[in-house]
Structure 1
């Protein structure tokens, strides 16, 4: 019988790529998610019954244990960019990973892969970065041989980075950003999935920081994205002090609307944007795993074309203008 892996958050941006890769490798997969009815698409990654979405709430011991039974490996992809209701940074990113690791150790699971993030730091003023580090520590307390992946910002067809700003670029001549001089090292989501596959299938352990071959400031990345979608926009860098005032205003509106209205940025995100998001010089990365990371230009045009002025017909119109009568 083929081996079984439980992927917590397996229907999310990264999780679905890990599920697809492991399905192709012959694994049986439980995709643990809060909304299994919205994750039925993962079933198409394998043959009938090979990939199954199941309900799980990582804030609850019994729920985590119920979907882990007989698993040979577990992967945790669950994370949040903003605290919402009971899904706080502490509950999801600090307590959740440790709960999964503790139960995995109790159940005799052999391997665990945990997805963290570059910038994880227990001393950080950012709740996001602090809880990412606490989650790593919690995992290693119970599963010392776990593989921990710290990707930079991930890109791909379903990303919430380039897609988000490409969409915003359609509504005016100015594209505002916070932290325009902060450096990022975007990494292709399927490359991170390939690293996770190695951790599930092999005996790879330790912490790996994953970044792509391209490093650029926030402003430079936006300018590259604008070239791909063929739009001319002024990339306006909003000073941090002004961004903090805006974030405070958005938080007030959110409070008064009982969480129904959320702003485009939070105070915690602003703290993170003050720090470069690149692989440390002494960190183990893709090279240690034998993976050659994918360049942004090799992927971006495949999914950002829909934001061009004429969408899929933009290239045709361009060619037509170059025709000589």
Structure 2
């Protein structure tokens, strides 16, 4: 800036002798160093009331895994950008993940690139945990798991985002082996193609492949506990669940692995298998859930081969035709991948390589299934009920 000064040799000769002189004058620098990255303003010693220099955009933040990821990020002083669709009411509780001014919300649509760009342009970390168990008329598995992640990865790269973490699925494969469906699980196939799309657009992205995730409001333990999944007191499973091996993992462990990967730049370009510490036969695992719920053989529980129950097949079909959310998340693609054995690639790292101490399902299932127990309001005496025997471990 400059100030205007008027000088004159004599007040009497103002009109004839006056002259105009421009003299530079400034009280601050006129060359402003613009830094659009909020990560430059790191402060605090750690914790929810600090800022650790990371600005993270979490897609799918209001989901089962996404909400836990946001909580762990906020607990370490990460500033959060939460894109949401639908009503803000669904994501409003995430405001508590960080201190005042640490959690921001922005509406978005997975098919609207401008809204995605707005969500990631100030971030140095993008985490994609978007997921849906079934297809809708607006979003197919291809839209959710292939086109959406590709757009997020491409736009993040264009905006200069430093790091990206993408959540896939353990049994993701290009051509899944069919069990009940002629072409296998479309979910698992789309997850595989989504990995390839993210790799093309953001080669250094970190990919997580979780097995079945259990936790509060999950779609694994509580899924089998739901009344609609049963046929009366019987549990229909493919070949009684005796041909399927599962290695479920705690939602807290997966979220901790994502947090640890976000802190470590050496994880760039890696694929991590998010699996639990033990392997179980699916049928034995479901039996254990019902023992915990005090719904044993005396209660009437039994499991059987669903291949010989046309009424269950009819129920699944009718459930998929209903508008809105399927009752108890029941659908053919869900049932198909439920009976796919978890295959672990020993050449790939796991959560333990990220320093995560894994949780046993036996330590969490009793609390998660407490609301489903038979005679839940009966005030039993201490030791009146025998402690449920844990499920056998498969070597």
- TM-score, normalising length from structure 1? 0.88
Q: CA deviation at 1:197?
A: 0.8
Deviations along 1:143-190, whole A, 9 cap, x unmatched?
111110000000011212211222328994323334612111110001
Secondary structure in 2 matching 1:317? coil
Which structure 2 residues correspond to residues 213-232 of structure 1 after superposition, within 5 A? 213-232=277-296
- Residue 186 of structure 1: aligned partner: 248
Residue 117 (str. 1) matches residue 169 (str. 2) = yes
Residue 42 (str. 1) matches residue 120 (str. 2) = no
User: CA–CA distance in 2 between the matches of 1:252 and 1:187?
Assistant: 31
Which structure 2 residues correspond to residues 238-249 of structure 1 after superposition, within 5 A? 238-240=305-307, 247=313
Greater Cα shift, 301-310 or 94-103: 301-310
| Equivalent residue for 1:31, pick from 82, 85, 105 | 82
- TM-score, normalising length from structure 2? 0.74
Residue 272 (str. 1) matches residue 337 (str. 2) = yes
Q: CA deviation at 1:123?
A: 2.1
Deviations along 1:249-294, whole A, 9 cap, x unmatched?
7446755x5x358466433334424420242333321232122211
**Larger fraction in helix:** 1
Q: 1:320 and 1:208, CA in 2 relative to 1: closer, same or farther beyond 3 A?
A: closer
Which structure 2 residues correspond to residues 123-202 of structure 1 after superposition, within 5 A? 123-124=175-176, 125=183, 126-168=185-227, 172-178=232-238, 180-181=241-242, 182-202=244-264
- Residue 319 of structure 1: aligned partner: 382
Q: Choose 1 or 2 for highest CA Rg.
A: 2
Contact kept, 8 Å, 2:231 with 2:312, in 1: the verdict is no
| Equivalent residue for 1:290, pick from 318, 343, 355 | 355
Q: 1:174 and 1:215, CA in 2 relative to 1: closer, same or farther beyond 3 A?
A: same
Question: Would you say how many aligned residue pairs link Structure 1 and Structure 2?
Answer: 317
The gaps in structure 1 that reach 5 residues or longer are none
What RMSD over aligned residues (CA atoms) do the two structures have, in Å?
2.5
- Residue 107 of structure 2: aligned partner: 55
